[in-house]
Amino acid sequence: MIQTQKRSVSMALVVTLSSIYAVSPFAIDSYLPALPIIAEEMQVDISMLSVTVSLYIFGLAIGQLIGGPLSDRHGRLPIMILGLGIFALASLLLTTSTHISVLWLWRILQSIGGGIAIVGVPATIRDNAEGREAAKLFALVSLIMMIAPSIAPAIGNLILSLHNWHWVFYFMTIVSCFAILMAIKFVPHQSLKQKRELAITTERRKGIRFIDVFKHKHAMGYMIAQGFAFAVMMTFVTNSAMIYMGVFEVSSDVFSMLFAANIAGLIVINRLNNYLLNRFEPASLLRCFLTMQVTGGVLLVISSLLVTKSLPFTAIAFIITISANGGVMANSNACFLKHFGKDAGTASAVLGAFQCAMGAIISAFAAFVSMGYLQPVVIIMLISSCIALTAVIRSNKQAQITDASTIQVSDVK
């Protein structure tokens, strides 16, 4: 009976954490169909509204840097609720926007709230699991998180077919309020004794600072890997429409199918990774999937050098490159956070902020230098994936040396 109850609670917690983590990607993509309508109503160029995507990513980074240390000091649940509350309030305020500058302001506030909320998700997983088990939980959370951005535009379109654009943000408010209720019910509450212990621990130790996370040599490689692997995916997302509809001149319907193929690939690799975790360690799998991403990057560069560009060859190369992230993110999270215990919130904040920053900067740089061509984009993707793989190889070697030294010391004792 006890074992069954534990499994039930565990799955409920995973679904809850996934829902909280999916709020932000849903918020990014669900209102994209409304951009032309909002631009026309506010009498601004649509590019002025497209800026909100970059603003949201940077706001997520800021929110995570705020929420991480707070969750270490005050517990995961209160800070998750605080972040979701800010997100819900900002979503409601967005419906009152009549000028682009006001919309930017509430959008930044919304993203900061989202960042404060999501930073507690990997920290909560780290609090309850480690090693292979943690990697499996990260994989499950990532799987549900992948589904959110893939269905968000369709939900946005459905809302617009029934109501005006304000209802997209009303829907976000409802979703975040529902996530708050789920968090209150399923995220572990701290007992009075645990709160007292946390308060005593907080008084006795200063906790790690952001700079201390960067000084952790073993963990640093995994953070670099996650940041640059995420940048590969963001570079594709940012430039995919230009590549497929601009370079290859496919229709919007064909583009949607080609884009969906990458989402399907992510899900397949995510499930494969979950199965392989029964036999292999996260660090080994991380190296394998990054090797897969580098291989895809090489194929993309080859496709860009062909005189007659092949759409099937390029599409397959993109699927290989992007799908690899289905195994990278879960394993890099587990490998990174295993080096941090009670300070997992602060460490998770640095990891999330670094990931968002790399994704935003590298994808924006690729879009700026591409000038409508495929080659600059895929070269940047290949370089990013090579940096990620190199960082993991170095961290894995350092971990092996440390483990060997530990075994020798224990043998001597």
Domain limits, the chain = 8-205, 208-408
Taking the C-alpha atoms of residue 47 and residue 392, their distance in angstroms, rounded to an integer, is 37
* Alpha carbon distances (Å) from 407 to 206, 283, 284, 398, 404: 31, 19, 20, 14, 5
Q: Look at residue 31 in the predicted model and tell me its pLDDT.
A: 76
Position of tokens 């230009």? 242
Question: Residue 297 in contact with residue 385, Cβ under 8 Å?
Answer: yes
Query: How many angstroms separate the CA atoms of 58 and 22, rounded?
Result: 17
- Can you tell me the distance from the alpha carbon of 75 to that of 78, in angstroms, rounded to the nearest whole number? 6
Rounded Cα gap, residues 295 and 48, in angstroms: 37
Contact 393, 284 (CB under 8 A): no
- Domain at 8-205: CATH architecture: Up-down Bundle (1.20)
CA dihedral over 64, 70, 76, 77, signed as positive or negative: negative
SS3 of residue 279 by DSSP: coil
**What is the pLDDT averaged over residues 67-96?**
88
So what's the pLDDT on residue 322? Answer: 93
| Cβ within 8 Å of residue 82, ≥6 positions away | 67, 70, 116, 117
For 68, residues 6+ apart whose C-beta sits below 8 A from its C-beta are 119, 123, 345, 346, 347, 348, 349, 350, 352
Task: Give the position of tokens 């602060």.
Answer: 346
More confident residue, 148 or 56: 56
Least trusted range by pLDDT, from 163-172, 227-236, 358-367, 387-396: 358-367
| CATH code of the domain occupying 208-408 | 1.20.1250.20
pTM check: above 0.75: no
